[in-house]
Structure 1
């Protein structure tokens, strides 16, 4: 997982080093978008302790996210974007792993103050959030309810096809258990910040 995160970080850095050009062409325009990013934050769900020292936390707001969808430019100043993604945090070793995965669906609206920058926000529906483990992580399994969160973000375009996005997401996960005939609900904060590199085509 650390190797994957390092590769994504390098990819985002390479996007940032591109020559700044004009942003998306104004006027009505429907395009596809794919992206990947790194996120951090949220409550701790589990900790993996390693034999030779050190540990890794799996958090409700981490760590790696992938997305794909469509982006529509209504006018020179307004656009919207809809995506489906995969978001995962994981701690793994030879003797097992712990994984928190979920599938977010997002709908965002934007205002473009300049030709190469936009700010906006929207909603995020997270489907099938699940914490699971194997080996040393056996028995940690938790199935969370699907949830709806809010997003605020800004995106800078280095070219019509390449954007760098910074965001904040506020969301909460709930799961229930029964003890002595009583049902209890756990609440887990999934609030996080993220940086994404997007490619439009």
Structure 2
């Protein structure tokens, strides 16, 4: 993980602490309360970045929309419980490992999602900014080749169902493209994907 990402995470934590302290004060007057949040998901979709063929003939693909997402942040909930806002810092990655090499794709999404919610169901939409999207391929005995993309901005739509007191499970669709640096020879990769999501608030 890059130093810039860790710096951004620290800035987010400082901002979340400040916002959380401010959010608790006006709760009685119809403001927002703040609760810590961890999030996880499994996603699939997007263009194929790398296709790997194993020695037994099987094949696997590394796609721009996969696969595992882990993150943390804060959820702000209105006093009437009808509106929630999530701000999270995440790590989104996929990998293929074989005896003769490996391939990975990783990025660091910062997400802001607004939810209109009831007692058990909620519907959300928001923004995601993917920092340092990087695909890497390393063949057995060879050097590691990297394909770097510019930071990308996307949109997401999500439905959640409440299980118990603090666990939201749901479905997400994200719209995002990744562009390689350069104005003339830039390559655009489709990273649109569906996801199964889980959000646990403490």
* Partner deviation per Cα, 1:26-47 (whole Å, 9 max, x = no partner): 9843111112111000000001
Query: Paired residue for 2:167?
Result: 162
Q: Which has the higher helix share?
A: 2
1:131 to 115, 129, 135: 135
Is the contact made by 1:27 and 1:76 (CA closer than 8 Å) also made in structure 2?
Answer: no
Aligned to 1:120: 124
Cα distance in 2, alignment partners of residues 81 and 139 from structure 1: 36
Structure 2: distance between partners of 1:78 and 1:197: 18
In 2, Cα distance between the equivalents of 1:155 and 1:98? 32
Task: Name the structure 1 match of 2:47.
Answer: 43
Q: Higher relative CO (CA 8 A, sep ≥ 6), structure 1 or 2?
A: 1
The two structures have a TM-score, normalised by structure 1, of 0.80
Structure 1 residue 135: Cα displacement: 2.2
| Runs of at least 5 residues in structure 1 that lack an aligned partner in the other structure | 1-25
**1:88–1:101 Cα contact (<8 Å) kept:** yes
Aligned to 1:84: 89
In structure 2, C-alpha distance between the alignment counterparts of 1:170 and 1:176, rounded to whole Å: 20
Cα distance change, pair 27–176 in 1 and its aligned pair in 2 (3 A): closer
Q: Which moved more, 1:183-192 or 1:139-148?
A: 139-148
Q: Is the 8 A contact 1:30 1:70 kept in 2?
A: yes
Segments of 5+ residues of structure 2 without an aligned counterpart are 1-29
* Runs of 4+, deviation exceeding 3 Å: 136-140
Query: Which has a greater percent of strand?
Result: 1
Aligned to 2:46, the other structure's residue is in SS state coil
Q: Quick check: 1:143 aligned with 2:144?
A: no
CA RMSD of aligned residues (A): 1.9
TM-score w.r.t. the length of structure 2 is 0.79
